[in-house]
Amino acid sequence: QITLKESGPTLVKPTQTLTLTCTFSGFSLSTSGVGVGWIRQPPGRALEWLALISWNDDKRYSPSLKSRLTITKDTSKNQVVLTMTNMAPVDTATYYCAHRPTDDAFDFWGQGTLVTVSS
């Protein structure tokens, strides 16, 4: 049974750095082909892919946010961490992490965590 859970602050101030942790179980991020991605969704709006880290530490980022994002993994802890710098009110969204099987679509998602950016 694959599960993922996002954790982090619910409120950040503008210009601050957001750090989100995805803690997962039921799979290993050292298994060939497996990846974990981050996707966000502003209130009432569509899904936006942010970043992906793969089993071999290959990292991919949304080009529009690449300068602000860093994704890392700790295989021993079954965690993936996303940091986003210079947060602004437009970054207010529910942030999801999701499991990506080998060469396939995101199949299991966390429940998401709502992050509000406000002073």
Partner 1 sequence: DIVMTQSPDSLAVSLGERATISCKSSQSILYSSNNKNYLAWYQQKPGQPPKLLIYWASTRESGVPDRFRGSGSGTDFTLTISSLQAEDVAVYYCHQYYSTPYTFGQGTKLEIK
Shortest Cβ 74–partner 1 spacing (Å):
22
Task: Give 15 or 72: the residue with its C-beta nearer to partner 1.
Answer: 72
Q: Which stretch binds partner 1 (CB under 8 A): 16-24, 69-77, 81-89, 110-118?
A: 110-118
Please choose, from the candidates 83, 85, 86, the residue with its C-alpha nearest in 3D space to the C-alpha of residue 95: 83
Distance CA(104)–CA(2), nearest Å, equals: 15
Contacts of 8 (CB under 8 A, 6+ apart): 18, 19, 20, 21, 95, 113, 115
96 contacts partner 1 (rule: CB under 8 A): yes
Query: How far, CA to CA in Å, does 31 sit from each of 17, 78, 99?
Result: 30, 12, 12
Shortest Cβ 30–partner 1 spacing (Å):
21
By CB under 8 A, name the one of 37, 53, 87, 115 that touches partner 1.
37
Task: Give 15 or 31: the residue with its C-beta nearer to partner 1.
Answer: 31
48 contacts partner 1 (rule: CB under 8 A): yes
Please answer whether residues 53 and 82 qualify as being in contact, where contact means their C-beta atoms are separated by less than 8 angstroms: no
57 contacts partner 1 (rule: CB under 8 A): no
